[in-house]
């Protein structure tokens, strides 16, 4: 399936035009209509051919409605997963690593050692352009003991909220 059926590749338009023996603008209109139909079916969360068939008007050609409903229903899971993966979203955490370092400083009066946590986050940057490779980057963060405790406390609260939402569903 093409990423954007509103603008399918020229060779596909030409081949479809030749096979159906219709005008080019009719072929483009056909692709636009099919794209709109598929988006509507995805938006309405249709799950099978029967629910897809309900999207069509009552006076739509019965056999064509059944055929299109069956074809669309067979491809729904693939289109749904592609739609989800192409949504704009925040960068995703792929991996992380950590270590504890001791920061030390000295002056003539005393020697000071402070433990710190170095957190390395590997992040996948979001891109909806399938022609380009999704980039990853590493981000290093230094946390004091107090900052680490505050972060862990916050993550614990997030885990609790996610668990309560998951139990409702």
5 has pLDDT over 60:
no
Alpha helices in the chain (DSSP H): 10-20, 24-43, 49-53, 62-85, 145-168
Mean pLDDT of the chain: 86
Q: Crossing angle of helices 24-43/62-85, nearest 10°?
A: 70
Contact assessment for residue 72 and residue 37, using Cβ atoms and an 8 Å cutoff: yes
Per-residue confidence band for 3, with pLDDT thresholds at 50, 70 and 90: very low
Cα gap 40→32, rounded to integer Å:
12
Q: What's the confidence (pLDDT) of residue 86? A: 74
Contact assessment for residue 139 and residue 120, using Cβ atoms and an 8 Å cutoff: yes
Partners of 142 in beta bridges = 118
Give the pLDDT mean for 85-113: 79
CA angle 154, 156, 161 (to 5 degrees): 95
* Domain extents in the chain: 10-85, 92-168
Cα gap 131→133, rounded to integer Å:
7
The 10 Å Cβ neighbour count of residue 38 is 19
Q: What's the confidence (pLDDT) of residue 111? A: 63
Percent of the chain with pLDDT over 70: 87
Q: Is the pTM of the predicted complex or chain greater than 0.85? A: no
């Amino acid at each position: 399936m093409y990423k954007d059926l509103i603008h399918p590749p020229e060779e596909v338009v030409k081949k479809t035009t030749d096979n159906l023996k219709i005008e080019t603008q009719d072929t483009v209109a056909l692709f636009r209509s099919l794209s709109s139909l598929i988006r509507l079916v995805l938006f309405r969360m249709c799950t099978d051919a029967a629910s897809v068939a309900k999207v069509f008007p009552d006076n739509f050609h019965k056999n064509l409605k059944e055929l299109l409903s069956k074809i669309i229903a067979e491809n729904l899971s693939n289109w749904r997963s592609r739609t989800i993966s192409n949504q704009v979203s925040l960068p995703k955490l792929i991996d992380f690593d950590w270590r504890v370092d001791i920061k030390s400083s000295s002056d003539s009066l005393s020697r000071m050692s402070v433990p710190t946590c170095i957190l390395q986050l590997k992040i996948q940057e979001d891109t909806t352009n399938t022609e380009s490779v999704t980039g990853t980057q590493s981000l290093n963060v230094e946390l004091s003991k107090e900052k680490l405790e505050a972060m862990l406390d916050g993550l614990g609260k997030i885990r609790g909220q996610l668990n309560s939402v998951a139990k409702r569903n």
